[in-house]
Structure 1
């Protein structure tokens, strides 16, 4: 009911009821994470959550701002307020905050020219707008860059935004599934999966400056590409590029075609067991069929979702011995090892 008198000494930057271990939370707080599509941020403030931290996202003439969803006056959820011009206004007492989070007006003050305490300031975060996505970081010093995605950074190619979805699963479980190839003929038989008798060739996973990369050829069932190449199936080369910790772009190219599709998947770890998924795609037509691409992507996601949400344990096992692996798991094994060896996730807090 009451905070202790010496609340400053007891205060922690970890969110209340944090679902992550302290060490994992502090490590993940150092990365850029997606929290919304830019087009979702319009006239009203938008609530979001990252690593169990409640956030507010709002747009002004200065661009998009992100802050902790907490008015410093009485702890109100400021996302329930409104935006007026360049001011974010608290719904409880009408305090105004500028794009940098500085309080510019206290309506109830009898002397409107009086100095406003500098403590009346929102806890703003760093923001980056790229690929039509709002990225933010809970740390003042990000440890890893925002992904550098081929195709999607080409301004001449139209981007398609798949409606975001939330999965009741760990971000790492989703990422591992997105980078898995051996499930294609079993899970995606209604979309692009081939025969259940398919054998997957061995592939090498390469460490890159940004994360991991591998390439694999696959005989897709059906013919889903708009390049007028005939056939009931297509041989396709998939190139996966993973940026630590939770972002992947797949470059999809039929080997008998000029056509290339770029499909990016990045996820916001809302909590340790809840994941918000953002996907952006384009292709070398310059104007992809938006309706078809969205419909197909949602179907593929639905084929995956229930299986990933039901995986146990919910946490991704980072000890390689905790699960049994098959040759097609080369990417999965490299991903788990990298999370441990590069960033010490799943381990003790490093002092």
Structure 2
């Protein structure tokens, strides 16, 4: 996961002149804008290890609050107040560790290692048909990121955890569906689980319209549902802040109108139900050894997910 992209903030929260401190894979990371360029650095001054996020931005430099050392946009020390005539050489240790950063879909993505591929692709984003977009900022889950992602692609829980909101316990049966592991991730086709219609009308009518998932990365997935006239997609990505803590971000995009505030209230109710269930799971980290838990025939999507994580060598937030 260290070589993958993870969302750490929304672009609108990373404002010029402000230093933003975030956590990713158990590490402190600071974000700041040097003009229009967004930067991600290790939150550590190379001089005496103080937190750089406690400093300030001055003349396109980030200044450490401990001894006043200033660092330019490349992370190199540009000024030492105690020795103003001294300019550290290019080979000196007076450089901050920098990370890869991209802004996409209104979110800030950071890679702590060496990116092996681009930020996950959301096909609907630039499609003018999907003009209606609703964003849900990072929501804290006190559980591991893989547990949280697995819950998103697990439809078995919908009739029970979301009974009365998204699902209905009178319709718990799971039909057959197919799962394919390809080079671009896991494709889950035609999952038929009773859910309310996404227009969330007053009668809360539902149906078994098939749901399709594409797990693009270990911690990013997309759900697609609906007919040609009413299609929606959920772009769902999880940030592993700690081994047993994460943030969940999601875009919900539609090619039709939905009442935004009512839909947000409805979705937050569903999210809260998920959080209560996920945080109750033990262990909090996802077991990758299939013998550690009992499985149902309709668990083929989550079984494939666990096998895939093990194949990829994913260790953060998992139990081998």
TM norm structure 1: 0.81
Distance 1:197 1:136, change over 3 A: same
Q: Which residue number corresponds to residue 56 of structure 2?
A: 82
Give structure 1 stretches of 5+ with no counterpart.
1-27
SS of residue matched to 1:336: helix
Secondary structure, in 3 states, of the residue corresponding to 1:91? coil
CA contact (8 A) 2:78 2:87 kept: no
- Structure number with higher strand proportion: 2
1:46: which partner in 2?
20
Q: Map 1:1-351 onto structure 2 (within 5 A).
A: 28-42=1-15, 43-111=17-85, 114-118=86-90, 119-139=93-113, 141-154=114-127, 157-215=131-189, 216-221=191-196, 223-225=197-199, 232-253=205-226, 255=227, 258-285=229-256, 289-341=259-311, 343-346=312-315
Tell me, in whole angstroms, the C-alpha distance in 1 between the residues paired with 2:55 and 2:271: 34
Q: Label 1:233 to 1:102 Cα distance change in 2 as closer, same or farther (>3 A).
A: same
2:29·2:40 contact (CA, 8 Å) conserved in 1?
yes
CA distance in structure 1 between the aligned counterparts of 2:38 and 2:147, rounded to whole angstroms: 30
> 1:52-108, CA deviations, whole angstroms, 9 ceiling, x for partnerless residues?
111001122242110110011221111112223522222222222222212222233
Going from structure 1 to structure 2, the CA distance change for 1:249 and 1:96 (only over 3 Å counts) comes to same
Question: Are 1:41 and 1:58, in contact at CA under 8 Å, matched by a contact in 2?
Answer: yes
Paired positions, count = 311
Quote the offset at 1:288 in angstroms.
Answer: 5.4
Q: Does the 8 Å contact 2:173/2:193 carry over to 1?
A: no
Query: Retained in 2: the 8 A contact 1:247–1:267?
Result: yes
Root-mean-square deviation over aligned CA pairs: 2.4
Superposition TM-score, scaled by structure 2 size = 0.89
Q: C-alpha distance in 1, partners of 2:35/2:188?
A: 42
1:191-210 deviation per Cα after TM superposition (whole angstroms, max 9, x unaligned): 21123333111111112332
Q: What does the per-residue CA deviation read over 1:223-251, in whole Å, with 9 as the maximum and x for residues that have no partner?
A: 4417x9x9832443311111221001111
